[in-house]
Amino acid sequence: MNEPLFLRRSVQAFCFVLISWIALPAQAVLPGAVGDGTELPSLAPMLEKTSPAVVNIATTTKVRQRNPLMEDPFFRRFFNVPPGRQMPERRASSAGSGVIVDAKSGYVLTNAHVVDGADEVEVTLTDGRSLKADVIGVDREVDLAVVKVDAKGLSEIKIADSTKLKVGDFVVAIGNPFGLGQTVTSGIVSALGRTGLGIEGYENFIQTDASINPGNSGGALVNLRGELVGINTAILAPAGGNVGIGFAIPTEMAENVMQQLIDHGEVRRGVLGVTIQDLTEELAEAFDVDKKEGVVITQVMEDSAAEDAGLKSGDVVVAVDGRPVKRASDLRNKVGLSPVGEKIELSVVRDGKNRKVIATIRETSQKTSSGTGFSKHLDGASLRDLRKGEVSYAEVGVLIEQVEQGSAAWRAGVRAGDVIINANRKDVTSVNELKGVIADKDAALLLRINREGGVFYIVIR
C-alpha cells in the first residue's frame, strides 16, 4: 500500500518541477548574444554593396544540326541532294555569370567559355534590367573574356591584389548556378597556385571550398571586404556537382588579360625563346644548385630574347622579378602573361653561382591559323608553323597548337601537339604549304602525323 502512495507523490513532484521550468521567461534559456539585442555577425552589409556588380550572362548560339547521312557523299548523290544544301540550324542557349569591373565604360569580365562563339549576349543586372552586350575580346588560353554594355547606374567591384591571399582566408563566391538567380556561397582559400590540371593553357588557380556549380562560371570570388580576388571558373567533381573543390582565376592574371583585351581586343603574348623542364634532385646535384625547386633551361632558341639576354642551356631559373619559380608552369605563366616589350629579371644559377639576367619579352613571329580555313575536317583546330627546336621529335612541320574537344578535328583523332608533316601525299613544312596542298575544303584529307616521335596516317572523310 505504501508503494502506490510513494509513486503518486514522486509523479506530483516531477510535474511541479516540469511546469515551473516551462513557466520560466523565454529569454532565460537563450544565449546572451541573441537575447540582449546585440547585432549578429553577418555578411549582408558587404553583399549589399558587392552583389549589384555581379551579373547574369545569357547567350544564344546558332548550331547546325548534324545528320551522318547528309555527310555521306554516296547518300547525297543517290538522293540527288544539292551540293550547297545544309542541315537546318537550331538556337542553343546557355547561362553564366560576369563581374562589372568598370561601371563608367560598361566593361564586364567573365569566362571565355561563357561567351565564346555566341551570336547574342545578354546581361541581366540585379535590378532586373536586361542589356545587350558586345564581346570586346576573348582569351581562350586563360579562359577570360570582356564584354561591354551601354547603360547608366552600374555598380562596379573593387579589384584586390590576389598575391596577398593566404590559405585559410575567408572568401565568398557570387554567381548564377543552374540558372537559379544570384546565389552566394562562402568558404575559405583551400590552396593557391594550382597548376597542371589541364583546364586552361595558363593555370595559376585559387582553390576554394566555397560552393561553385555550373552557371557560376565568370562570377566573383571576393574577400570579406567585398573586393574581387578571383573569377570563378571550374569545378572538380566526378558527377558535375560541387564537392568542395572549385577553382578561380586570380586577379593577378585577370587584370593583365583584361587590360590587353580592352586595349587591343586580343592578348598579344610574347616569348622568351627557351625550352624548360622542372628541376629534380638529380639535376640540382648535377648543376651544383642548392635549391630544391626551380626550372632548368634545356635549350635557347636562336635570335631570341633569351639569347640576347645571355641565357644558356643548363641555367637554372629560381626566381622571376623576385618571385620564386617552383615549376615550369610558373615561368611559362610569367612569360605568357607579360606584355610584349616588358623587361623581366630572372634569377639564375650557373656553375654554382647566382646571377641576375634581364630579358625583354618579344612578340612571337608565329601566327596561329584556324583549321577551318584549310579544311572542314580541321574545324576546331589551331595551327601554326613549328619553331626550330620547339619539340624534340620533329624539326619541321605544322604544329597543332590547340583542338576543341568535340570538334570535327577532335572526332577525327587530331590532338594538340601533333605535327603534320605530310598532307595528301605531299610533304609540308609550313602553314602556307599545307594550305597549298588542300585544293578542296570539303574533300577527304590524308594526313601524316608525328605524335611525340610516333608517325602514322589519318584519313578524314
Are 322 and 330 in contact by the 8 Å Cβ rule? The answer is: no
78: helix, strand or coil: helix
Q: How many helices (H) and strands (E) does the chain have?
A: 11, 27
The DSSP output letter for 200 is: S
Per DSSP, helices labelled H in 181-322 are 251-264, 281-286, 305-309
264 is catalytic: no
Query: Which residues, in sequence order, are CB contacts of 456 under 8 Å at separation 6+?
Result: 448, 449
379 is catalytic: no
What are the b/e assignments for 14-28, b being 16+ CB within 10 Å?
A: eeeeeeeeeeeeeee
Beta strand residue intervals within 263-392, DSSP E: 270-271, 274-278, 295-300, 316-320, 323-324, 343-350, 353-360, 362-363, 369-370, 381-385
Are 297 and 312 in contact by the 8 Å Cβ rule? The answer is: yes
Give the three cell numbers for residue 312.
Answer: 644558356
CA-to-CA separations, 353 to 274, 316, 325, in angstroms, rounded: 20, 10, 17
Residue from 211, 217, 329, 338 carrying the catalytic annotation: 217
Are 439 and 422 in contact by the 8 Å Cβ rule? The answer is: no
113 is catalytic: yes
**φ, ψ for residue 287 (rounded to 5)?**
-95, 10
75: helix, strand or coil: helix
Residue from 51, 97, 113, 139 carrying the catalytic annotation: 113
Distance CA(10)–CA(254), nearest Å, equals: 73
Give the three cell numbers for residue 436.
Answer: 597549298
Residue from 51, 97, 143, 304 carrying the catalytic annotation: 143
306: helix, strand or coil: helix
Q: Write out the catalytic residue numbers.
A: 113, 143, 217
